[in-house]
Chain A
């Protein structure tokens, strides 16, 4: 995977200590690991998304609603990729996305949604997503969006 050299993607440098750091492949000169935040209230999906990401050598943190994601960013965390569930208690995906964008967060934010109508998808995209995928996330979808992440930087 090419290095993420874009200055926006500070990655693990300013990320608070995450849980189980996975020593994935680092085949690039700048040696920056891709970092990801999973924002998801369903524990089964948390486990799956975390494993999907870790298997690709991505340093992953998990929070269970939009507000926790926002708080994390307020405390200075930066991630290359944010996987944002749509429906969550306290603060849902679209709202959290709006708040993060308003804060100036320019990470790639990908909505992960259970099948929902076009209207809900539009609302979610309009909140500031870069893309969305239908749940459940698969390795193929993840590799595809990570490739975009790398290509766009």
Chain B
């Protein structure tokens, strides 16, 4: 099964809708609770990174019996230094976004922690491609 959702930059009214739909689908097909939780965290953080940092993008979920793959592809400023961006607490989010409780610099670390495999490719002034694989398993980190 595959699902794809359009995500608009700065659209905080719809932020999280794609992640919610992915969650529902994963529950419908009977993925493990632990898998759903991790996939939902990855999907939400990736979706919000498009909303906060990019112009527009798509969030795609590929669902297989043994794994979920979450892919976020966007057009935007890109990430100049991915190693730096992966550090907890690093954020370029502006003050008005931080006031909403976003921009804590925990999104990419959350994605990393919840992924079994993670690939991030980015080109400055073009966009970013995040691909996360989450194996379907009952529990355990």
Co-assembled chains A and B: no
